[in-house]
Structure 1
Amino acid sequence: MTIQTLFAASHHIYLGNAIWYLICFAILLLLVKHYAWGPVSDMMEKRRQKVINDLDSAASDRKKAETLANEREAALKNSRQEATQILSDAKTNAQNTGKEIVASANEDAAAIRKKANEEAAKAKSDALNAARDQVADISVAIAEKVIAKNLSAEDQKDLVDQFIKGLDD
């Protein structure tokens, strides 16, 4: 006895029943194909398209995120360069301003020294002129007193000689 015969004999499956089961199964397959397979297929296709779209969207979003990250990194780098440039410019401007202030202070000090020297020279000149005027006044007063005295002929001759010598010098 073969295994098929033993199986059929033990379960009482007959050829007619097997054919009937096959026909019912075929009808069930046709009904499933006609009524259920289309909607299930459409649902599976929609799901497949959704998964594909989600994957494409995720890839697109990742590319956008990478692009934004690169742009932000570039912007940050540019900001750092601009900040460095601004600091450098500010330092240069501060140094130039400091030099200008020192130069201006030196010019002001030189102008003050020059003015003080001019005022001192003028004061000295005024003092010398005042002294000369006083010496001249005193000399005139002395001369008047000397002339007012009666001079001897010899004193008058000496006085005239001294005056003439003073003119020659």
Structure 2
Amino acid sequence: MVLALLEGRGEIPTPVPLDEHLQRWAEQRGLRVRALETLEQQLAALDCVPPQEQALVLRQRLDRSDDWRAAAERILGYYRTGDLPAWFDEELASPGLDRQAAALEARARDCLLDSRNRRWLPRLAAELRQSGVFVAVGALHLTGPAGLLEGLRRHGYAVYPEPP
């Protein structure tokens, strides 16, 4: 959580969190709002890597604060321009981490992204078969070989990005 907060520096604060804004937007339009997972599943994904191992990654990130700050700026740039593949590639590279910390980060990424995407895809495909849906997930869930966009393509859906 600490690393996520630090990486978020430079974002423009808003009075209403994005999740809440999107939920209100959907409700105002009479759209059904459904969660892809339970709170318990979300917390289990966060607890996948023990805190002492997460601390090792955080320590290494903070020890290289100059590199880390530049990386955070690049990542915000990728997000703002919609270049999710570049963001994903940088996340995979684990810049500034030794082998042990990079392996821990890869395990955390599997818990936070890939495993959840695999669990969500059948539910998402079922929702799509019933009717059109608007799906809101964190941006990194969309990209990469285990991302939701590729998963939906494998399920036979035509997937394309909306222009920004």
Query: Which category describes the TM-score, using the shorter chain as reference length?
Result: under 0.3
Bigger CA radius of gyration: 1
Task: Give me the TM-score of the superposition, normalised by structure 1.
Answer: 0.18
Q: Relative contact order, CA 8 A, sep 6+: which one is greater?
A: 2
Query: TM-score w.r.t. structure 2 length?
Result: 0.18
